[in-house]
Structures are given as structure tokens and as C-alpha cells.
Structure 1
């Protein structure tokens, strides 16, 4: 799998509609993922679930919290 190919699917969070998911490539699928979105970080935790998405097996990461960037 190339570094640009998605290996996880992100679910949940206050900004995401329930019927949409976001796919990404992450280096470490066992650690919590922290994404900068505007002035906040969205944190996603890996689950034991794997789903098929567009012909790929992707690890599911669930949203767990938001923290804000210190000014």
C-alpha cells in the first residue's frame, strides 16, 4: 500500500454529518490521531473495527474529543 492510499476511516465529531466519513492515511493505526481543524484539534481513537470502503479494508477511528490551540 502506498503512503497516499487511505488506511483509516474517521467517524463522528461535531462537524461531520452522520452519513459521511473521511478517509486518511496514518502512519500508526494503533495510536490516537490528532488533526488540526481551524483553531482546534479533533482527536480520533482507533477501534478494533475494520470496514470495506471502495475496495479497501480500512481501520475505523472514532472521534473522542476536541481541544483548542493555545494562543
Structure 2
């Protein structure tokens, strides 16, 4: 999958994550919080492969 969006300081354009087709949302640990991405329903060609695009939806913080 390809990731897009998120806070201005977070570079997602070059991030690729492998998942199976049943995955509809992912979260990535980023310091003391998780960045959440949801399936956008779109696909893009990345390095010759048809990848799903996941768009940033929100963040959540780790409990102390």
C-alpha cells in the first residue's frame, strides 16, 4: 500500500507497506503517538505494481 497525507512534518510519499487485501486501516508508531491511515479506495502504480492508497485520518497518543 502507499500512504498519503498526515502532518506537514511527516513524509509519507515514499512509504510503502505490504498488507493483504482484507486490511482496511493501519496505524504506524511515530514517537509517542500512532498515525492512522484508512483505505481511500484508490490505487496507484508504484514501481510497476498496482498499490492501494491509504490516506491519513487522525493520530492517537500512547497512554503513559
By the TM > 0.5 criterion, same fold? Answer: yes
Calculate the aligned-residue CA RMSD, in Å.
1.6
Q: How many aligned positions are there?
A: 62
Instruction: Provide TM-score, normalisation by structure 1.
Output: 0.76
| Alignment-derived partner of residue 34 in structure 1 | 27
What CA distance in whole angstroms lies between the structure 2 residues aligned with 1:21 and 1:59?
Answer: 14
1:54 aligns with 2:38: no
Instruction: Provide TM-score, normalisation by structure 2.
Output: 0.84
Structure 2: 5+ residue stretches without partners: none
Structure 1: 5+ residue stretches without partners: 1-7
1:70 aligns with 2:40: no
List, as ranges, runs of 4+ consecutive aligned residues in structure 1 with deviation greater than 4 Å: none
| Alignment-derived partner of residue 4 in structure 1 | none
